[in-house]
């Protein structure tokens, strides 16, 4: 069974999973240049040029359903981000988070990992984020979330990201769900947090 990388970009997130011992089966991305780089980074994976604003093609779902171990991805975050003053709850790209959820609901992987900016947690007074978690719960997933700072793991960047991990309830007992977020390896000064 394999990993599907939605919003795959050049394949950075899936490269981490590959280094951890997972097999990457499919990368889905609409940007052709990024998808070309994904293909180079993951020579044994299928590269699909799909518009993730659209619902998944039923034939593709049928073909993938029995092969999927996990779904990973970071839907575009510009509508949630504080970085460039672009934070807007009516940004069309915000709809790509529900589309990620749709893929999880259709393929029913054993687990998923979704990454985004910290602003996802607070947009619309936190209601959007709570609805995301409720949707995953309704689909049969136990979820955990955490905000990880890259510098806490030795990466020389002021970068915080929100991660949501979900394990299907039927697999939650057999997987050590309590240890999915890594312990910090480096101390980050308070002044660097929240940037």
pLDDT exceeds 90 at position 78: no
- Tens digits of residue pLDDT in 137-163: 999 999 999 999 988 998 888 888 999
Beta-bridged to residue 113, according to DSSP, are 72, 165
Every domain of the chain and the residues it spans = 2-192
- Tens digits of residue pLDDT in 89-117: 555 555 788 899 999 999 999 999 999 98
pTM: 0.86
**Which architecture, in CATH terms, is 2-192?**
3-Layer(aba) Sandwich (3.40)
Alpha-carbon distance of 155 to 157, in angstroms, equals: 6
Alpha-carbon distance of 32 to 114, in angstroms, equals: 22
In terms of C-beta distances under 8 Å and separation of at least 24 residues, what long-range contacts does 168-174 make, across chains too? Answer: 168/108, 168/109, 168/110, 168/111, 168/140, 168/141, 168/142, 169/140, 169/141, 169/142, 170/140, 171/110, 171/111, 172/142
- Tens digits of residue pLDDT in 171-188: 777 676 666 788 889 887
pLDDT exceeds 50 at position 21: yes
Q: Would you call 50 helix, strand, or coil by DSSP?
A: coil
SS3 content of the chain, % helix, strand, coil (to 5): 40, 20, 40
Closest CA to 74 of 126, 18, 22, 16: 16
- Tens digits of residue pLDDT in 50-61: 988 888 899 999
* pLDDT at residue 181, rounded to an integer: 85
Active site residues: 77
Query: 145's torsion region: left (phi>0), alpha (psi -120 to 50) or beta?
Result: beta
pLDDT exceeds 50 at position 87: no
* pLDDT at residue 80, rounded to an integer: 46
């Amino acid at each position: 069974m394999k990993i599907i990388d939605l919003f795959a970009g050049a394949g950075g997130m899936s490269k981490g999973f590959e280094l951890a011992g997972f097999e990457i089966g499919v990368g889905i991305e609409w940007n052709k240049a990024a998808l070309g780089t994904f293909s180079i980074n993951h020579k044994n994976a299928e590269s699909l040029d799909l518009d993730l604003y659209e619902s998944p093609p039923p034939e593709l779902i049928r073909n993938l359903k029995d092969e999927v171990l996990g779904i990973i991805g970071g839907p575009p975050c510009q509508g949630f981000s504080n970085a460039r003053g672009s934070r807007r709850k009516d940004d069309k790209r915000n709809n790509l988070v529900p589309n990620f959820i749709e893929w999880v609901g259709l393929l029913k992987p054993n687990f998923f990992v979704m990454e985004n900016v910290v602003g996802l947690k607070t947009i619309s007074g936190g209601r959007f984020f709570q609805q995301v978690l409720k949707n995953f719960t309704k689909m049969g997933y136990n979820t955990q979330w955490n905000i990880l700072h890259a510098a806490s793991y030795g990466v020389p960047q002021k970068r915080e990201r929100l991660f949501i991990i979900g394990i299907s309830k039927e697999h939650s007992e057999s997987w050590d769900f309590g240890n999915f977020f890594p312990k910090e390896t480096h101390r980050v000064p308070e002044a660097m947090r929240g940037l």
